[in-house]
Chains A and B, each alone.
Chain A
Amino acid sequence: MSGTALNGTDLGGATRAEYCVVACADAWRGAGEILASPMGVIPSVGARLAKWTFAPDLLLTDGEATLIGLDGTVEGWLPYRQHLELVASGRRHVMMGASQIDRFGNQNISCVGDWERPRRQLLGVRGAPVNTLNNPTSYWIPRHSRRVFVERVDVVCGVGYDRAAGARHHRLPRVVSDLGVFDFETPDRSMRLASVHPGVTVEQVREATGFELTVAAEVPPTREPTPAELRLIREVVDPGGARAREVGA
């Protein structure tokens, strides 16, 4: 029974995308009755997986102004103005993207190059400044590279530990990439490799990171999805396989 569910789903070999999904889902473990704000496909699949399993009290949105249950039942109204208020209340854990992120978790989505005259204009600071000072903010990076994990971000949008000055509600629980999971559980709150996804080596992570990571002598593998989680991901939460388009095998 170990490899195959009753209904015949092949549970052999979780894919890289599926490790990423559970690593993202775990960000909301124990979060209680708060809003999960996932940005990107894999964090969205992760948030729904979390609600299906170990975090049933999570609030989810339809991406517009409506709070919905797992079956799409409307249970609330959350237009942008109320969403901003909810951020201020802290009752939300957002998982944002990052065009650049540095060792202290400073994040950039504004532009690349000199802000006065950017080489590449991106989205803009959006709500990253307010998010990082008010509610827990995690990051999802689908393609881990030295272009993203940089020594210094060009524009600080999301605030990192070295610039937060101990702000009372500032917390960056984790960074998940296609290579591993990272946290800031170090004395100086710089980024640490918390786990590597199976099939990835520590050296590979170091190679793809543009700054010195804290790496323990023994880095655990990212936890395995349980058979029940794999079945939910494959059959219920993401039957169309959108996750594989964000992170390949």
Chain B
Amino acid sequence: MFLIELIASSLRMAVPIILTAIGAVYTERAGVVNIGLEGMMIVGSFWGALGSYYFGPYVGFLFAMAAGAFLALIHAIATVTFRVDQIVSGVALNILAYGSSRFLSQAFFKMATTTPHVNGLFKLKIPLLGETSPVIILALILVPVAGYILEKTVFGLRLRSVGENPLAADTLGINVFKMKYAGVIISGVLAGLAGAYLALEHTGMYVEGMTQGKGYIALAAMIFGNWTPKGALWASLLFGFAESLSFRVVQNAVIPYQFIKMIPYVLTLAVLAGVVRKSTPPAADGVPYERGTK
């Protein structure tokens, strides 16, 4: 029973990482590094809570995905059209997400760091897992769907070709810029969804800092999963497991809880230090594409 409960809780913890990591696969396969995923998750959690507070959970999720997509659009304009440094743009977006959420939270709710309680979606009753958010099921469905789209469809092939060799793709008549925009925006939508899950399904409100670096951890999960949705799923589950295990250990309080809180971050470092050399990113990942240059 304890084991089943642990697995269920790992899955619940892993969902935001899974969703964001799938998004990260899309954007990186299109050749754009998106470190702004953390910020897109933040705006997702805030706008999700805002939408749900005023119009109910469905609108909340819509708002969250739109907010994530909006930040992603800025990232795409900056990095694809203007070819600025992708890391710098991502960092700026994370600051923008943090600042704008505080600003709006103050303006709407007169509190900078939290919103009132908000409603989540209906719950599914699933044997063993108990009451389950439909977003969990959605995340699990999205993994094979993303795998199929990337590997088997024309869109996926084009997206990947742009990340591997944009010049060749351009020569074949593929609209490189459109593909890159698509990859980045999909990642923003998924990160926004992940943020809304945190606020609406997991906590029931928006709290500042509730993403706790999960956007970055999702990037690590994607790398650990070798830039594939399926790989990212297993890596995300590992991180979810570490987090849910840490809650169990806290209850026993053998180790100071501050050290338990470090586990996901230390695990990320360890995973990257041990594994990253074996995996291969898309050949043109992080390199802006400019027409007319070799």
Co-complex (A, B) = no
